[in-house]
Amino acid sequence: MAKILIVEDNKESLDLMTYLLDHCGHSIITASDGEEAIEKAKQHRPDLIICDIQLPKLNGYEIAKILKNDKLLKHVPLVSVTAYAMVGDRNKVRDSGFDAYISKPIDLVQFVVQIDSLLPAELRSNKSINLQPNPSTISAKKQDRIYCKALLVDDFSASRELYKILLESIGVEVTAVSNVNEALSYLQKQVPDFILSEFHLPDNGGLAFLKLVRNNVAWKSIAFIFMSTTHPDKNEMQEMKILNVTRFILSPIDTSAFFNIIKSIMSMIKDKNH
Ligand code: MN
């Protein structure tokens, strides 16, 4: 287990990297601008630093320069995670002192492996992310698997991918869509056991989607789970309650807590049908 500093101003990206590395047993420190990055690096002396390039106050190149000139911090592996894909940018990242480069969007399965490979053996994660279900654990835990159908609605592809893989790893058949219109056309063809939807969806928004589901005779009893990285406000909470939301999940969520929620909702559905 390593102490890792993640410097990233995009909240979704920061949450996702934090989720993945924390889940694998690393301890995470975060910073969302350049000055905070330097401050936290000096204060915590992390084992590895993951750093975005475009950042407020000091950019990634400036951060790299400062860190690589600090005798206490220059040996700490410094990894850039950035959307820049040009070869020239890659060279610039290397030349300014970064030890490695991971391009965005990050590969959910490979990310932890890539980070671990930059750490000394004794600091690598002891738990695997297990996003790709391992056949032996599946057969061993067959009784734990849930055979049901879910509709997953999320406009953020990385999180859609993550939840799809997590659900499939416990046997759920997932149809993943990126917007409300696609969700509605799926629902016209079939009724899933539950809907897992991002709360902050563009256009109509998650609440409007929930409203449509609850006002349709064929869909109104489908279990409906919202997820979001931010707390809903008081009015949104109230409206969700009126529309009979089944559950609200604050993301990122620990994998086992997430599975427990899905399992309890599924057993609730089964009880109702008996
Ligand atoms: Mn940025």
In the reported structure, the alpha carbon of residue 182 is separated from the centroid of ligand 1 by a whole-number distance in angstroms of: 30
User: For position 110, what pLDDT does the model report?
Assistant: 76
User: For position 137, what pLDDT does the model report?
Assistant: 41
In the reported structure, the alpha carbon of residue 54 is separated from the centroid of ligand 1 by a whole-number distance in angstroms of: 4
In the reported structure, the alpha carbon of residue 83 is separated from the centroid of ligand 1 by a whole-number distance in angstroms of: 9
The token duo for 263 is 């399992």
In the reported structure, the alpha carbon of residue 9 is separated from the centroid of ligand 1 by a whole-number distance in angstroms of: 5
pTM for this predicted structure = 0.55
**Highest-scoring range by mean pLDDT, 13-17, 167-171, 244-248, 259-263:** 244-248
* Identity of residue 236: E
Mean pLDDT, residues 238-257: 86
Mean pLDDT, residues 83-103: 79
The token duo for 42 is 């000096």
User: For position 163, what pLDDT does the model report?
Assistant: 86
In the reported structure, the alpha carbon of residue 5 is separated from the centroid of ligand 1 by a whole-number distance in angstroms of: 15
Residue with tokens 């056991």: 193
The enclosing H or E element of 90 equals: helix 87-95
Distance in angstroms (rounded) separating the CA atoms of residues 46 and 30: 11
Residue 250 is given by DSSP the state E
User: For position 109, what pLDDT does the model report?
Assistant: 67
Distance in angstroms (rounded) separating the CA atoms of residues 138 and 31: 38
Pair 157, 165: CB distance under 8 Å: no
In the reported structure, the alpha carbon of residue 24 is separated from the centroid of ligand 1 by a whole-number distance in angstroms of: 24
Pair 167, 150: CB distance under 8 Å: yes
129 vs 201, more confident? 201
In the reported structure, the alpha carbon of residue 257 is separated from the centroid of ligand 1 by a whole-number distance in angstroms of: 30
152 vs 94, more confident? 152
Q: CB neighbours (10 Å) of residue 10?
A: 15
**Mean pLDDT of all residues belonging to the chain:** 85
Distance in angstroms (rounded) separating the CA atoms of residues 12 and 265: 26
Pair 146, 263: CB distance under 8 Å: yes
In the reported structure, the alpha carbon of residue 178 is separated from the centroid of ligand 1 by a whole-number distance in angstroms of: 23
Is residue 274 very low, low, confident or very high in pLDDT (cuts 50, 70, 90)? low
Nearest one of 179, 151, 181 to 164, comparing CA atoms: 151
In the reported structure, the alpha carbon of residue 36 is separated from the centroid of ligand 1 by a whole-number distance in angstroms of: 14
For residue 32, pLDDT over 50 is answered with yes
In the reported structure, the alpha carbon of residue 10 is separated from the centroid of ligand 1 by a whole-number distance in angstroms of: 6
In the reported structure, the alpha carbon of residue 268 is separated from the centroid of ligand 1 by a whole-number distance in angstroms of: 42
Q: For the chain, what percent of residues have pLDDT higher than 70?
A: 88
Mean pLDDT, residues 218-230: 91
* Identity of residue 267: S
Residues 127-154 pLDDT 10s:
655 444 444 444 434 555 667 899 999 9
* Identity of residue 72: L
User: For position 268, what pLDDT does the model report?
Assistant: 82
In the reported structure, the alpha carbon of residue 60 is separated from the centroid of ligand 1 by a whole-number distance in angstroms of: 9
- Cα 109 to chain centroid, rounded: 12
Between β-strands 247-250 and 223-228, what pairing exists: parallel, antiparallel or unpaired?
A: parallel
User: For position 138, what pLDDT does the model report?
Assistant: 41
In the reported structure, the alpha carbon of residue 16 is separated from the centroid of ligand 1 by a whole-number distance in angstroms of: 14
Residues 36-91 pLDDT 10s:
999 999 999 999 999 999 999 999 999 999 999 999 999 999 999 887 656 677 77
In the reported structure, the alpha carbon of residue 43 is separated from the centroid of ligand 1 by a whole-number distance in angstroms of: 22
In the reported structure, the alpha carbon of residue 53 is separated from the centroid of ligand 1 by a whole-number distance in angstroms of: 6
